[in-house]
Structure formats: structure tokens, C-alpha cells
């Protein structure tokens, strides 16, 4: 499957809401600069400002997640234990800020946005100062006031994705825009005869196909196993 769909006759129509997406990248020469800035903070203090929530407590994020007004199914799949992911919080005993990560790389930052201690630790995580991350992460935020907070937090490290197509710039946070689409059954019914290639055969996915399917957006990247998928 090709993730870069540009189908002009698509029956999906964008909703009015556009969400900023931040692509968290690894730093190079910026690492020592930020380490020097944060050296005054004790290691113990930093540990407890962005905590990895125990899986048994994932439902703590339910209330905050229920307030999100755009598609957040990937985050729900983690909270509801459908897929194995991770959730970082500001306080395991009384979490108010949540960073939910799906293994494919989609993440959602939500909840209380004015916790400066969590935010500084999150900055360290996003710029990967401790080399904790091994892959890119594509982050959305809710509510919208997070956008202003992150603009200030990552001042000097933000770049528009169109200005870094070749990924030449390292140690930066790329800014993208995500469009939510809404399926229109009536429009699909009218158009399907015109766009369906007669040479394409639609088949039901079986376990063998689940394992063999290649691509960037395929079921094996979104479910823990074939058992979970079926």
C-alpha cells in the first residue's frame, strides 16, 4: 500500500479541523548545548517529571482522551490495551498531562500544558538527548493551546517540513499539518464505478497475507499480531 494517496476522486472529504503535527527528530551538534543548559537540574528531579505509566493504569488517560475532538483511535487502542504502546505522564499518582505513543510512531500529547517541569523533560525526550528514541515520532496535540506552548519550548529548533524535504537539517522538530477526513457513503456510491480498476481484485485478508503484506501502512505495523488483527 502507498501511504501517499493523491486520489482526486476520493470520497473522503476533509473536516474543517487541521491539526499541527510535530515530527520529533534526533539531535546532533545541539545535544551538548541543551545538556549544558539543563546541568543545573539534579538527575533525581528530572526522573520524576516525565514518568512512564504502568500499563495497568492506562485507563487514567480515558477522561482526557474523551475530550479530544479529532480522530484519536490510535491513542485509544493503547489506552484500551488493544495494542502495546506507551504512555508518559507528569505524575503517576495524579496524572494530568499525557503523552501516548503507538508503536507505529503516531503520538498524542494532551492534557495540562502549563507544567513547566514536565515540558522541559519532554523537550529533552523530543530532542532525544539521552538517545532514548530510535525512530521518528509523529505527534499531535490537544487542546490547541499546546501549539503556543511548544512554539516557545522549541524556539530555535522548529522547521517547516517543506524546508527539510531531504532531511538535511538534524536536531530539529519538523512542523506538518494533518487533515482529518470524513467518509461520504453517498459520494462513494456515485463514484466507485468510475474509479474502480477492473483489474483489481478485492480479497479478504487471511493470516498468510497478514504476514506477507509489505508496505509502510500495513496491518502488521498497527496490530501486535495476526491474532489481534483477526
Q: What is the mean pLDDT of residues 176-190?
A: 83
pLDDT digits (tens, 9 = 90+) for 123-135: 888 888 777 777 7
**What is the rounded average pLDDT for all residues in the chain?**
77
- Does the pLDDT of residue 81 top 90, yes or no? yes
Q: What is the pLDDT of residue 10?
A: 43
The grid cell for 83 is 495494542
Q: What is the spatial distance between Cα 76 and Cα 217, in angstroms, rounded to a whole number?
A: 19
Owner of C-alpha cell 504476514? 211
> How many residues make up the chain in this entry?
230
Confidence of residue 78 (pLDDT cuts 50, 70, 90): very high
Residues forming a β-bridge with 87:
100
Report the percent of the chain where pLDDT is more than 70.
Answer: 73
pTM, two decimals, is 0.73
Pick the CATH number of 17-182 from 3.40.1000, 3.40.630, 2.30.30, 1.10.260: 3.40.630
- Break the chain into its structural domains and give their ranges: 17-182, 195-229
Amino acid at each position: 500500500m502507498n501511504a501517499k494517496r493523491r486520489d482526486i476522486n476520493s470520497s473522503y472529504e476533509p473536516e474543517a479541523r487541521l491539526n499541527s503535527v510535530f515530527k520529533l527528530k534526533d539531535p546532533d551538534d545541539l545535544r551538548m548545548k541543551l545538556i549544558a543548559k539543563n546541568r543545573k537540574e539534579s538527575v533525581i528531579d528530572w526522573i520524576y517529571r516525565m514518568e512512564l505509566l504502568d500499563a495497568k493504569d492506562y485507563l487514567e488517560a480515558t477522561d482526557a482522551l474523551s475530550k479530544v475532538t479529532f480522530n484519536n483511535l490510535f491513542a485509544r487502542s493503547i489506552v484500551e490495551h488493544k495494542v502495546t504502546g506507551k504512555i508518559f505522564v507528569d505524575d503517576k499518582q495524579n496524572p494530568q498531562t499525557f503523552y501516548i505513543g503507538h508503536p507505529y510512531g503516531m503520538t498524542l500529547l494532551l492534557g495540562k500544558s502549563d507544567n513547566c517541569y514536565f515540558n522541559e523533560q519532554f523537550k529533552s525526550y523530543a530532542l532525544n538527548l539521552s538517545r532514548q528514541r530510535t525512530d521518528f515520532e509523529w505527534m499531535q496535540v490537544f487542546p490547541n493551546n499546546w501549539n503556543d506552548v511548544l512554539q516557545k519550548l522549541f524556539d530555535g529548533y522548529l522547521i517547516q517540513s517543506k524546508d527539510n524535504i531531504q532531511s538535511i537539517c538534524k536536531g530539529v522538530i519538523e512542523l506538518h499539518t494533518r487533515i482529518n477526513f470524513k467518509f461520504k457513503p453517498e459520494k462513494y456510491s456515485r463514484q466507485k464505478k468510475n474509479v474502480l480498476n477492473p483489474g483489481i481484485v478485492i480479497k479478504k485478508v487471511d493470516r498468510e497475507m497478514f504476514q506477507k503484506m509489505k508496505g509502510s501502512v500495513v496491518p502488521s505495523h498497527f496490530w501486535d499480531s495476526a491474532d489481534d488483527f483477526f
